[in-house]
Amino acid sequence: MGATINKKGVLAGKVAIVTGASRGIGEAIALRYAQEGAKVVVSARTVEEGDHVLEGSINSVVKKIRAAGGEAHAVRCDLALKEHRENLIKETESTFGPVDVLCNNAAVTYFVPVESFQEKHYRLMMEVQVYAPFHLAQMVLPGMRQRKSGWILNISSHAALHPNKAAGGRGGTVYGMCKAALERFTTGLASEVYQDGIGVNVISPGLVATPGVLHHKLVTDDTPKERITPVEHMAEACLRLCWGDPKEITGKITYAADMLKDYNLTPAELIA
């Protein structure tokens, strides 16, 4: 029997936004939230198949969810644009209601050494990966505070950790800066809203063979299989970080493998 929608799941009736959800980790998170009963807004820039060099689109993800009996809505959003971010929240609220779960997964990345990194690419990465999650949080927080409930989950990377100085690099410094800032934002916000019933966490996936990772050749035929994290593991961990007692699960800087171990999680099959 394949994966199904549980209308009485842990996110039953909740409204969730997942950014960067046209493919890869974002798609997996959107599917997993929907399987637990959430009404999911699937957001990214790629609306239809063929709009991007990589396979995947927000309409395709929505079709999967609806075909399985779930509720989903696609919203095109370029997170580099203020008006797009504002419309994402507005359209979510008009379609499903107030936001209960905000998952900031989207990223735009250039792997270029510092010496030759272009200013426009630096500003774009900071806008999409740091300011956009900040701005989206600002827009959903008033409602969450009023309802005394809500979850914000930011997706980070091991790149936030300091590299081995003798190991060399492949131009990931700015990416690491963005993720380190995102992690500090997470813990700071978690502290600010601790008394408001809002949980704020950040998680890194490990090495997942997503279309984007393969495109940047971060996984190759020589990569040991044991180093690769199945996307289902990340989706399950991201689900667990968005339900329960927010005072017990907040301010976490964690990793998919640690979440599965610490909470004894069994990754669910994702709807196809």
What are 13-50's pLDDT values in tens digits? Answer: 999 999 999 999 999 999 999 999 999 999 999 998 76
What is the reported pLDDT for 170? 75
Spatial distance between the Cα atoms of 152 and 165, rounded to a whole number of angstroms: 33
In angstroms, how far is the first alpha carbon of the chain from the final one?
Answer: 12
Which one-letter DSSP state was computed for residue 171?
S
Residue scoring higher pLDDT (165 or 161): 161
Percent of the chain with pLDDT over 70: 90
Average pLDDT over residues 224-238: 84
Query: DSSP 3-state assignment of 163?
Result: coil
| Mean pLDDT taken over the chain | 92
Return all residues near 147 (Cβ < 8 A) that are at least 6 apart. Answer: 98, 197
- The bridge status of strand 253-255 relative to strand 101-104 is unpaired
Spatial distance between the Cα atoms of 80 and 132, rounded to a whole number of angstroms: 7
What is the reported pLDDT for 3? 87
Task: Show the domains of the chain with their CATH numbers.
Answer: 15-262 (3.40.50.720)
Return all residues near 191 (Cβ < 8 A) that are at least 6 apart. Answer: 251
Per-residue pLDDT at 88 exceeds 80: yes
State the pTM of this model. 0.92
Query: DSSP 3-state assignment of 202?
Result: strand
pLDDT digit string, tens, across residues 150-160? 999 999 999 99
pLDDT category, 58, cuts 50, 70, 90?
A: very high
The residues annotated with a catalytic role in the active site are 175
